Amino acid sequence: MDENRTKELAEMLLAAEKTRKPVSPLTESDRGMTVEEAYRIQLRIMEAKKSGGQVGVGKKIGITSRAMQAMLGVNEPDYGHILDGMVVAEGETIPMAELIQPRIEGEIAFVLREDLRGPGVTIADVIRCSEGIIPALEVIDSRISDWKIKLPDTVADNASSARIVLGGKITPVLGLDLRTVGMVLEKNGEIVATAAGAAVLGNPAQAVAWLANKLAAYKIPLAKGELILSGSLTAAIPVAAGDFIRADFGPLGDVKIKFG
């Protein structure tokens, strides 16, 4: 794929987000698209948004469950970028008019106090370099019609990310068994899903280690101060106007958001 086509597809996804009119899967118009080409499209989109004044604050990891990997025919996660314009303060209302076909996921977010630079990053390195973890909600949204995505589609579309909501409590990682951290996800006061940290690659810290090692090939570290979303503990839940979502992580705190 040449640079002109990369730019064209990036502009198509940007326009879909702005107008809230999704486009057909990129893998239908460009059947030979590789994951590497999709990441180039993703970077084009991020460059355009940063040129418009947004600032990168972290990264997100997706496709961390074995079920999702099997569905998409892959054997590893994907990743996207978090910009400051994507972060919503807890207690605010997210307007549905800004989204297309949103779903929500409960996640564990890591805040780094030191750089993580692969290759060779381990779970122990992630724990050592983390300031702590924060309960988080990720609103995913596809700019691809009807969520008809293959791996290159979601990668190009910034791993289908849209909004990030953080809880108000940060908990040191040292001494925690992240595999057994529990989460109860509620929608309008009813429990819609429960899970533990082990649902994310066996350990959420393993997902962060994977990302650090993946980016090593591009000589990109996970930087001090960055926010890293480690991946959803459960299947994504569709949301609509009026919905109130709460993810309760027990002693680690909770995080909540309303859609308007």
What is the tens place of the pLDDT at every residue in 151-166? Answer: 999 999 999 999 999 9
DSSP calls for 145-167:
GGG---HHHHHHTGGGEEEEEE-
How far apart (Å, rounded) are the C-alpha atoms in residues 257 and 249? 15
Confidence of residue 76 (pLDDT cuts 50, 70, 90): confident
Specify the DSSP class assigned to residue 143. S
Overall domain count for the chain: 1
How far apart (Å, rounded) are the C-alpha atoms in residues 184 and 234? 10
What is the tens place of the pLDDT at every residue in 20-40? Answer: 999 999 999 999 999 999 999
Which range of residues forms the domain containing residue 32?
A: 3-259
% residues pLDDT > 70 (the chain): 100
- Is 111 a residue whose pLDDT tops 80? yes
Residue of 177, 171, 167, 212 lying closest to 61 (CA atoms): 212
Question: Mean pLDDT across the stretch 112-117?
Answer: 97
Task: Give me the pLDDT at residue 69, please.
Answer: 80
| Cβ neighbours of residue 194 closer than 8 Å, sequence gap 6 or more | 182, 183, 184, 185, 234
What is the tens place of the pLDDT at every residue in 233-255? Answer: 999 999 999 999 999 999 999 99
What is the CATH classification number for the domain harbouring 82?
3.90.850.10
What is the tens place of the pLDDT at every residue in 198-238? Answer: 999 999 999 999 999 999 998 999 999 999 999 999 999 99
Task: Give me the pLDDT at residue 73, please.
Answer: 81
Task: Give me the pLDDT at residue 56, please.
Answer: 97
| Cβ neighbours of residue 206 closer than 8 Å, sequence gap 6 or more | 123, 126, 200
Q: What is the dihedral of CA 183, 187, 190, 194, to 10 degrees?
A: -20
Q: Is 234 helix (H, G, I), strand (E, B) or coil?
A: coil
pTM of the predicted model, to two decimals? Answer: 0.95
